[in-house]
């Protein structure tokens, strides 16, 4: 398959997805959890009956928490997110919830994050992502130091990486609307995992390009990249499909607490595999073609 010959299709599709992701990130934006906004969360389980989301919402309204967000989790369990409950706020909520079926609901989990902790979490998350990006660039430049202009490989990998993260964020924004998926501390762990997986998949392609450039330095770079993708695509797809199978199994049969983290991983594996083949390598070819254009013009000029 001529992957390079179809680069316009792949690049235009990616530009469209990135643009759509940027739009939904601006409005409505990510559904930030209490790790980033501060507040309290409580998980209730009802033993005798299921009051439904509307019933739990009415109880929270009576407890003076109309801002509360309620998410049904199955098995008569409900996840409640409110403003900071303080020292006595939880008692007021549990008293009202107990009136729904006559017996107190079981509190499975509760947590509270203050505003200062939330600010520190935001700052640390940004720093973690930036540090990961810097180290990725340094590693690729060192690993490909024997190839001319190794910085091009590093920048191409970062472009693909930015593409992956933006699309995953866009997908998660839509899931925040559809299933109330929240961005929390474990989400950042998922993003960092996506970064590592994306770079690993990209380096597999780049390493094959480096080997083929060394074996046939006179071959046209476009042909070398296309050959390298063809030789690596089966391995990349095989690894990705195996990883996705495990993630899907955990997503279907695992607990609800890991749902958002697994969705991030699944999205990252899919997008990372795509970008390694259809974005990172294509950027290298486009860069090489632009570098050769002045020489070609000079060669044909009188």
> Would you list the domain boundaries of the chain?
4-33+117-293, 39-112
Residues β-bridged to residue 78: 44, 72
Average pLDDT estimate for 121-128 = 83
DSSP state of 278: I
High-pLDDT (> 70) share of the chain, %: 93
Tell me the pLDDT of the chain averaged across its residues.
84
Which pLDDT value is given to residue 296? Answer: 43
Higher per-residue pLDDT: 248 or 185:
248
Residue 174 is predicted with a pLDDT of 92
Is the bond into 109 cis (omega within 30 degrees of 0)?
A: no
Q: What percent of the chain has pLDDT over 90?
A: 20
Residue 300 predicted with pLDDT over 50: no
Q: In the structure, what pLDDT confidence band is assigned to residue 147 with cuts at 50, 70 and 90?
A: confident
Task: Give φ, ψ of 77 to 5 degrees.
Answer: -110, 145
For residue 128, pLDDT beyond 80? yes
Q: Does domain 4-33+117-293 have CATH number 2.60.120.10?
A: no
What is the spatial distance between Cα 29 and Cα 25, in angstroms, rounded to a whole number?
Answer: 4
State the average pLDDT over residues 155-181.
90
Average pLDDT for 42-49:
86
Segment of 59-63, 166-170, 231-235, 255-259 carrying the highest mean pLDDT: 166-170
Q: How far does the chain reach from its first CA to its final CA, in angstroms?
A: 38
Taking residues 41-61, report their average pLDDT.
87
Task: Indicate if the pLDDT at residue 103 is higher than 70.
Answer: no
Within this chain, domains 4-33+117-293 and 39-112 share the same CATH topology: no
Q: Which of 219, 221, 270 is nearest to 247 (CA)?
A: 270
pLDDT at 293 exceeding the cut of 70: no
H or E segment and range at residue 194: helix 185-215
Which residues does 273 contact at the CB level (< 8 Å), separation at least 6? Answer: 201, 236, 237, 240
| CATH (one of 3.30.390.50, 3.40.50.2020, 3.30.70.3400, 3.10.20.30) for 39-112 | 3.30.70.3400
> Does 255 score more than 70 pLDDT?
no
Would you say residue 260 has pLDDT above 60? yes
pLDDT at 294 over 50: no
Q: Does the pLDDT at position 124 exceed 90? A: no
10 touches 279 (CB < 8 A):
yes
Per-residue pLDDT, 290: 67
Confidence (pTM): 0.79
Alpha carbons 225 and 210: distance in angstroms, whole number: 9
pLDDT exceeds 50 at position 2: yes
DSSP state of 145: T
Residue with tokens 């409580």: 42
């Amino acid at each position: 398959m001529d992957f390079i010959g179809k680069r316009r299709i792949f690049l235009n599709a990616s530009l469209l997805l990135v643009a759509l992701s940027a739009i939904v990130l601006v409005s409505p934006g990510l559904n930030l959890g209490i790790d980033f906004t501060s507040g309290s969360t409580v998980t209730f389980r009802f033993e005798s009956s299921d009051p439904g989301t509307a019933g739990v919402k009415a109880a929270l309204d009576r407890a003076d928490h109309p801002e509360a967000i309620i998410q049904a989790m199955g098995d008569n369990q409900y996840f409640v997110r409110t403003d900071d409950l303080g020292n006595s706020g939880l008692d007021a909520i549990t008293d009202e919830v107990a009136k729904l079926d006559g017996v107190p609901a079981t509190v499975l989990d509760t947590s509270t994050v203050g505003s200062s902790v939330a600010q520190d979490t935001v700052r640390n998350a940004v720093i973690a992502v930036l540090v990961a990006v810097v180290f990725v660039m340094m590693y690729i430049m060192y690993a490909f130091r024997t190839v001319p202009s190794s910085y091009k490989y590093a920048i191409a990998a970062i472009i693909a990486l930015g593409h992956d993260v933006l699309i995953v964020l866009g997908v998660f924004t839509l899931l925040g609307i559809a299933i109330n998926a929240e961005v929390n501390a474990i989400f950042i762990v998922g993003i960092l995992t996506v970064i590592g997986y994306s770079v690993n998949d990209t380096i597999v392609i780049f390493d094959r390009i480096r080997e083929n450039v060394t074996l046939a330095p006179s071959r046209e770079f476009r042909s070398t990249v296309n050959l390298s993708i063809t030789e690596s695509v089966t391995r990349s797809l095989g690894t990705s499909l195996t990883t996705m199978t495990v993630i899907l199994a955990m997503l279907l049969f695992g607990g609800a607490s890991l749902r958002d983290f697994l969705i991030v991983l699944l999205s990252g594996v899919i997008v990372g595999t795509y970008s390694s083949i259809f974005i990172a390598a294509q950027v290298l070819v486009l860069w090489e073609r632009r570098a050769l254009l002045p020489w070609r013009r000079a060669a044909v000029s009188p």
